[in-house]
């Protein structure tokens, strides 16, 4: 019997949640956070980013953090790789999944990685070849992540055609999965459904899709529902709503994992995640992260006693 949950959630707080903070979270705290997330039943964790510490000091310890994360054998441990060198480091570390990000907005992509979209796609092809050269059991899952798929803080609207061109490039280069990211949180439910369906038409029904949503303008959970209605069952989220985009100053972070789990379970969709244990991760973060960075409706209001049994 298939006991997999109805909805798969990847926890991104250890990477996307921490990368823009103005304080360096100690390595031990990052490891403690990942262990607590795994203990809550989360089956995939984005543990860090293989970028130079001179660019993102938060990830100067990514090797140690990923090594700890990989001790949790039942959980998929992934990392962002911005280029071929980062991918080679991730391969050497033994990650289970790689997230290779390219923006659908040319301006955002140049600002983010200092390359054109086509230059990034060529790097993605090289990474695919590097992975294919590994022995089959050691090949990580490769996600082609489309940033700014629902809008850009620099260009404004991003066309459906631009998103589909990048998706096509990822698919032709051998992506195992496509992620659509609302990097700056400008997306709306109608837009999410429209773009997801356009991408489905581009890739066919067999390509795995996920949504990475932000809550900048308060539409995050509404966009999850839109994704569900478009048959997406894989979502990224961050405990306590950590995160944001450096090119959207002041923007709120990722959708809140705790709120997402509560909503999905109330909708009758299983996640496999223990909400009480997930809520407890706030205590770890609060020791190192200012309260202003920690959000979440459940944390603010509490879970009403009459709704404690959310299944």
Catalytically active residues are 245
List, in order, residues 6 or more apart from 91 with CB less than 8 Å away: 130, 131, 134, 140
Alpha helices in the chain (DSSP H): 27-39, 62-69, 84-93, 106-113, 117-132, 160-172, 189-203, 220-229, 257-266, 275-279, 281-286, 297-301
List, in order, residues 6 or more apart from 141 with CB less than 8 Å away: 76, 78, 96, 97, 98, 176, 177
Report CA dihedral (53, 58, 61, 67) to the nearest 10 degrees: -120
Q: How far is CA 216 from the centre of its chain?
A: 15
Confirm if 149 and 102 have CB atoms less than 8 A apart.
no
- What is the Cα–Cα distance from 297 to 261, expressed in whole angstroms? 12
Structure tokens at 169: 């490039």
Using alpha carbons, select from 229, 173, 220 the residue that is nearest to residue 196: 229
Confirm if 208 and 178 have CB atoms less than 8 A apart.
yes
Q: At what angle do helices 62-69 and 84-93 cross, to 10 degrees?
A: 40
Confirm if 255 and 266 have CB atoms less than 8 A apart.
no
Confirm if 14 and 48 have CB atoms less than 8 A apart.
yes
SS3 99: strand
Residue with the two structure tokens 């390509």: 207
- What is the Cα–Cα distance from 127 to 198, expressed in whole angstroms? 26
């Amino acid at each position: 019997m298939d006991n997999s949950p109805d909805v798969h959630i990847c926890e991104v707080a250890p990477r996307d949640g921490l990368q823009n903070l103005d304080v360096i979270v100690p390595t031990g705290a990052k490891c403690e956070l990942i262990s607590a997330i795994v203990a809550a039943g989360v089956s995939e964790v984005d543990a860090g980013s293989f970028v130079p510490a001179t660019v993102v000091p938060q990830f100067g310890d990514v090797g140690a953090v990923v090594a700890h994360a990989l001790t949790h054998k039942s959980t998929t441990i992934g990392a962002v790789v911005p280029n071929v060198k980062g991918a080679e480091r991730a391969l050497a570390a033994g990650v289970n999944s790689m997230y290779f990000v390219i923006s659908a907005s040319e301006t955002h992509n140049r600002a983010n990685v200092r390359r054109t979209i086509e230059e990034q796609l060529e790097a993605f092809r090289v990474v695919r070849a590097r992975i294919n050269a590994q022995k089959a059991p050691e090949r990580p899952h490769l996600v082609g992540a489309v940033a700014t798929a629902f809008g850009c803080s620099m260009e404004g609207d991003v066309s459906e055609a631009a998103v589909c061109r990048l998706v096509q490039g990822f698919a032709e280069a051998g992506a195992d999965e496509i992620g659509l990211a609302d990097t700056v949180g400008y997306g709306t439910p109608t837009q999410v459904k429209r773009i997801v369906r356009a991408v489905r038409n581009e890739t066919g029904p067999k390509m795995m899709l996920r949504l990475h949503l932000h809550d900048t303008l308060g539409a995050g959970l509404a966009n999850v529902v839109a994704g569900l209605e478009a048959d997406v069952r894989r979502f990224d989220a961050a405990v306590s709503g950590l995160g944001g985009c450096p090119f959207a100053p002041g923007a709120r972070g990722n959708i809140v994992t705790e709120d997402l789990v509560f909503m999905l379970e109330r909708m009758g969709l299983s996640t496999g995640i223990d909400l009480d244990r997930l809520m407890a991760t706030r205590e770890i973060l609060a020791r190192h992260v200012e309260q202003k960075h920690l959000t979440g409706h459940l944390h603010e209001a509490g879970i009403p006693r009459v709704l404690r049994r959310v299944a």
